Amino acid sequence: MNYWLVKSEPDVYSWDDLVKDKKTTWDGVRNFQARNNLKAMKKGDLAFFYYSNEGKAIVGIAEVIKEAFADPNDPNWVAVELKPKTKLKTPVELATIKADKRLVSMVLVNNSRLSVQPVKLEEFDLILALSEK
C-alpha cells in the first residue's frame, strides 16, 4: 500500500462534501508531477485530505477506489476516484508538521504547492499520532 496527500480548499471541495457525496472524482490536476502521482495511485491506497491556503491542515483520510483514468474535462490529464475513510480526531496543522523535526523531509514541508504528493509510511503514522493529541 502507498500513502498520499491530496489538497483542496474547503470552500471549493471540503471534507464534508466528500463525506456527503460518499465518493468523488479527483480531477482538474494540471501539474505533471502531480499527474504522475495520480497515475501511481493504486486501489486501496490511502490519501491525507489537506486544506491548503485556508486552514492549512490535514483533516481526514480518503481511500483510492478507482485508479487513474482520463480526466473527464481533459483527456490529456488523469483523475482518480476517492472515498472518505476517516476524519482525523484533531486536524494536524501545517505549522505543527513543520515544527516536528521528524517530518523535515516530508514533501508537504519542502514542496507545499504540489497538489498530489507521496507520503512515507513513517510520516503517515506520525501524522496519525499527532492527530490523536
Q: What is the identity of the amino acid at 36?
A: N
Whether 17 contacts 44, CB under 8 Å:
no
Sheet with 24-26, strands from edge to edge, namely 24-26, 74-93, 57-71, 46-51, 3-8, 116-119
Superfamily of domain 3-131: ph1033 like domains (3.10.590.10)
pLDDT reported for residue 112: 82
Between the two ends of the chain, the Cα-to-Cα distance in Å is: 26
Enter the C-alpha cell of residue 83.
472515498
Whether 59 contacts 18, CB under 8 Å:
no
Per-residue pLDDT of the chain (133 residues), as tens digits, is 999 999 999 999 999 999 999 999 999 999 999 999 999 999 999 999 999 988 999 999 999 999 999 999 999 999 999 999 999 999 999 999 999 999 999 999 998 889 999 999 999 999 999 999 8
